[in-house]
Structure 1
Amino acid sequence: MADNRAVSYMGPGKVEVRDIDYPTFELKDGPGVNPANVGRKLPHAAILKVVTTNICGSDQHMVRGRTTAPEGLVLGHEITGEVIETGPGVEFIKVGDLCSVPFNIACGRCRNCKERKTGICENVNPDRPGSAYGYVDMGGWVGGQAEYVVVPYADWNLLKFPDKDQAMEKILDLTMLSDIFPTGFHGAVTAGVGVGSTVYVAGAGPVGLAAAASAQLLGAAVVIVGDMNTQRLEQARSFGCETIDLSDGEPADQIEQILGVGEVDCGIDAVGFEAKGHGHSGQEAPATVLNTLMDITAAGGALGIPGLYVTGDPGGVDEAAKKGSLSLSLGTGWAKSLSFTTGQCPVMKYHRGLMNAILHDRVQIAKAVNATTISLDEAPQGYADFDSGVAKKFVIDPHGSVAA
């Protein structure tokens, strides 16, 4: 049996590359695995040799100790890989296929899946609808920051690239299809972005940059990105975004200097629950982004919220925040008739279309997010660098496939 190595969360601020079991067609017990999922048979699964797997800001929340993730949890939900074995229930996916793996695990059989709501599949997580690889409270499916990973319901979940050679030429773009590109795109779509829209994206991390690039792809007239990190703001400007530095204060005045008015048509929250207040103090204030977006989004507009919010945050600023309860000015949203969309992006809804946009050179998402390749052994340093705020999207290359 082949060896397998993976990146594991080992406590706040600590990740390690460890030996783990090679995947099989049965979900075994391990850190974070829901007891009701232990022993689950996977005849519908495929085993993939991981070609690329990315470090995500959502992973960083766990690594900072801001969730209830257990030590030993294998990380990684952004996966692209080559099929090397299939279970007896797999009919259409074949050995040798190079595929993108949506970070949502979905059965394809339940009501939500049939309604394209794959982010809240009813059959893969015994605790609640919705699941993902290598993530806290998501059913315990083993993460993909590894050499090999098992993907359940392979015929349904996997998006096969039509030409392997072409795909490898664009692999740094295509690896973004597993999460941040469709997540950013979902944020833009649910914010109502269209031709001629003015858009404000809160946060210039990889998802924020992906949302900004998505807004451009959807025809936005002006995309403004706000952050306090000067490197990340520079990255946003590199592909045509306007930027505002939130360490200089509230965004409305800065938006007015750009647009002539202090509001936008569409607002996107790409920050989530570790948001900080505006100004030089930068103290954590988790409701800041949502309340600001309600203030600066025009009446009748919409807020797309791909930023992560959790129900359990041990490091929350107060008892309410530790339970995911935030002090929102919902009255503002009601008075302005604003629409809100939260939750996991249903990746499959956008998967094939965004793949085609990449393959036909309609978007350069890897350039927009500054994709940077590292080895599996360099992953712990990648986490540390990402946490320091570098303007990079780290892509782990476990087998040297990208380098080759």
Structure 2
Amino acid sequence: MPNNKGVVYIGPGKVEVQEIAYPTLELRSGPGVPPMNAGRQCPHGVILKVVASNICGSDQHMVRGRTTAPQGLGLGHEITGEIIEKGRDVEFFNVGDLVSVPFNVACGRCRMCKEGNTHVCLNVNSQPGGAYGYVDMGGWPGGQADYVMTPYADWNLLKFPDKDQAMEKILDLAMLADIFPTGYHGAVTAGVGAGSTVYVAGAGPVGLAAAAAAYFLGAAVVIVGDFNQQRLAQARSFGCETVDLNQDATLSAQIEQILGIPEVDAAIDAVGFEAKGQGGSAQPAIVLNSMMEITRAAGKLGIPGLYVTGDPGAEDEDARVGSLKVRMGLGWAKGHGFTTGQCPVMKYHRGLMEAILRDRVQIAKAVNATVLPLDEAPEGYADFDRGEAKKFVLDPHGMLTR
């Protein structure tokens, strides 16, 4: 049995690469595993040799101590891998298949899964929704590791049809586990279509993916707003207009300078609950409120940015339980539509895979995918936290092109 290493959350501001247990087709007891899942048998699962596993901004919320994540939690929910073992109940996948793993863990049997709402599966957690390596998401082990187990393989996994072709585009395909579908979901739920004008709040990897997705959907203009100059430059590298939020001019005034009017058709929140105002002050509702101000009447807001029910690092009691000062009256008066929650990856990943394989989109270039060995994950987390305009892709077995 091979050795296994993985990225482990040690405490606020610290992760380590440690020796961890080699996966089996059982969800064993451990940090963050709810009692209902401890010892759960997974004959429907597979063991993967991890080819790529990305560092996500959602991981950073945990590492910063802004969630209730327990120490010792193995991290990583963006997984691409090769099947090296399968359970007796797996019918449609074989050892050697190269697959993308949706970050949502879903059973395929419950009411939510049958309705396509795989982001809120009722059977994989003690509450709706499950994910790999994430707080309150069922305790499923993270994939920033050499090897990982994924359950309900026939339902969840997306097989790449040609292994050699897939390896040629592996950095793009590695984005299918989360970031590309998540950005695309934000754009779709914001109503982006041919000729749309779009505002994306946040030029981190999710925001960049949302901007690329908006262009893929036919947007005429995509405007990305952020404080980080390096990330704004990355947005401009593939055709986005940008708004520097450090400037004294209001967001609506800067949008008017670009479009001639101070509003857009659609807006996407790619920031979430750690939103800040000028000077770095914590203002967790500022993105939502500013998006309502600049989105036209009857427009839509896509909200893939993460919001939590428990934030021990918040500066006020309300925000610690996810209660924010959102101007709902403004949204109601303008007839806005809001879509929140995790992206149901399976709704989109096959079509986005085809777009990648047929050279319709270059998502790795848009998000500046940057490969690191697994052992350098702590440095990747630190660089990401400093605002590097990169999407770090961990390469446990040296299979990616550096």
How far did 1:36 drift?
1.3
What aligned pairs does 1:149-168 form with structure 2 within 5 A after superposition? 149-168=148-167
Q: Distance in 2 between matches of 1:239 and 1:154?
A: 35
Q: Secondary structure in 1 aligned to 2:374? A: coil
Q: How far has the Cα of 1:94 moved from its partner?
A: 0.5
Matching of residue 20 in structure 1 with residue 24 in structure 2: no
TM-score of the superposed pair, with normalisation by structure 1: 0.99
Check if 1:34 corresponds to 2:34: yes
Distance 1:48 1:368 in 2: 27
Aligned length: 401
Structure 2 alignment gaps of length 5 or more:
none
What is the deviation of 1:140? 0.3
Aligned AA (1:232): R
Aligned residue type for 1:114: K
Structure 2 distance, partners of 1:19, 1:200, is 43
1:357 positional shift:
0.4
Give the aligned partner of residue 49 of structure 1: 49
Q: Deviations over 1:273-323 (max 9, x none)?
A: 00001x3x2311000000000110000000000000000000012000000
After the TM superposition, which residues 81-92 of structure 1 pair with which residues of structure 2 at under 5 Å, given as runs? 81-92=81-92
Deviations 1:319-341 (A, max 9, x none): 00000000010000000000000
Matches of 1:115 and 1:317, distance apart in 2: 38
Q: Kindly indicate whether the alpha-carbon contact (under 8 Å) linking 1:48 and 1:85 is maintained by their aligned counterparts in 2.
A: yes
1:295 is matched with which residue: 272, 293, 296? Answer: 293
Corresponding residue number in structure 1 for 2:384: 386
- Alignment gaps of 5+ in structure 1: none
> Residues of 1 paired with 2:147 and 2:273: CA distance?
31
Q: Which residue is equivalent to 1:185?
A: 184
Query: Cα deviation per residue 1:200-236 (whole Å; 9 max; x = unaligned)?
Result: 0000000000000000000000000000000000000
| Correspondence for 1:138 | 137
* CA distance in structure 2 between the aligned counterparts of 1:295 and 1:276, rounded to whole angstroms: 17
Q: Please tell me the residue identity of whatever aligns with 1:243.
A: T
Distance in 2 (alpha carbons) for counterparts of 1:253 and 1:356? 39
- Aligned match of 2:11: 11
Q: How does 1:330-341 map to 2 (within 5 A)?
A: 330-341=328-339
For 2:183, the aligned partner's letter is G
Superposed CA RMSD = 0.7
> 2:373 is matched with which residue: 356, 372, 375?
375
Paired residues for 1:120-139 under 5 Å: 120-126=120-126, 128-139=127-138
The equivalent residue for 2:101 is: 101
Check conservation: 1:110, 1:123, Cα contact below 8 A: yes
Kept in 2, the 8 Å contact 1:247–1:282? The answer is: no
Confirm whether residue 227 of structure 1 aligns to residue 219 of structure 2: no
Identity %: 74
Aligned counterpart, 2:315: 317
Q: Which residue number in structure 2 is paired with residue 356 of structure 1?
A: 354
Shift of 1:81: 0.1
SS in 2 for 1:378: helix
- Please state how far the C-alpha of 1:403 moved relative to its aligned partner: 3.5
CA distance in 1, matches of 2:244, 2:174: 30
Aligned to 1:58: 58
Distance 2:246 2:319 in 1: 23
Distance 1:39 1:379 in 2: 29
Structure 1 contact 118–346 (Cα < 8 Å) conserved: yes
Which letter maps to 1:298? R
Instruction: For 2:299 and 2:181, locate their aligned partners in 1 and report how far apart those are by CA, in whole Å.
Output: 21
Q: 1:254-276 deviations in whole A, cap 9, x for unaligned? A: 00000001000000000000000
